[in-house]
Structure 1
Amino acid sequence: MSKTNVARLLKQSDVPFDLLSYTVDEEDLSAQNVARKINYPLSSIFKTLVLETDQKQHIFAVISGEEELDLKAVALALSTKKVQMVPMNDLMRLTGYIRGGVAPIGAKKTFPVLLSDRAVGQSYMIISAGKRGWQIKLAPDDFLTFTNGILFTNR
Structure 2
Amino acid sequence: MAKQKEKEEKTNVMRVLEAAGIPYTPHQIPLSKDSPLDGVSAAALLGKPPEQVFKTLVTQGPKGEHFVFVIPVAETLDLKKAAKAAGVKSVTMLPQKQLFPLTGYVHGGCSPVGMSKAFPTYFAEEVILVDTMLCSAGKIGHQVELRPNDLIALVGGEIADLIVS
Instruction: Report how far residue 147 of structure 1 moved.
Output: 0.7
TM-score, normalised to structure 1's length?
0.96
> Which runs of no fewer than 5 residues in structure 1 stay unpaired?
none
Q: Select which of 24, 34, 54 maps to 2:31.
A: 24
Residue of structure 1 equivalent to 2:122? 114
The 3 A distance-change label for structure 1 pair 33 and 25 is farther
Residue of structure 2 equivalent to 1:96? 104
Aligned length: 155
Instruction: Report how far residue 25 of structure 1 moved.
Output: 4.8
CA contact (8 A) 2:13 2:137 kept: yes
Instruction: Report how far residue 121 of structure 1 moved.
Output: 3.0
Give the 5 Å matches for 1:1-155: 1-25=8-32, 28-154=36-162, 155=164
Quote the Cα distance in structure 1 between the aligned partners of 2:141 and 2:32.
9
Instruction: Report how far residue 55 of structure 1 moved.
Output: 1.6
Residue type of the alignment partner of 2:25 = D
TM-score, normalised to structure 2's length?
0.90
Quote the Cα distance in structure 1 between the aligned partners of 2:121 and 2:82.
11
Quote the Cα distance in structure 1 between the aligned partners of 2:37 and 2:105.
14
The 3 A distance-change label for structure 1 pair 25 and 82 is farther
CA RMSD of aligned residues (A): 1.1
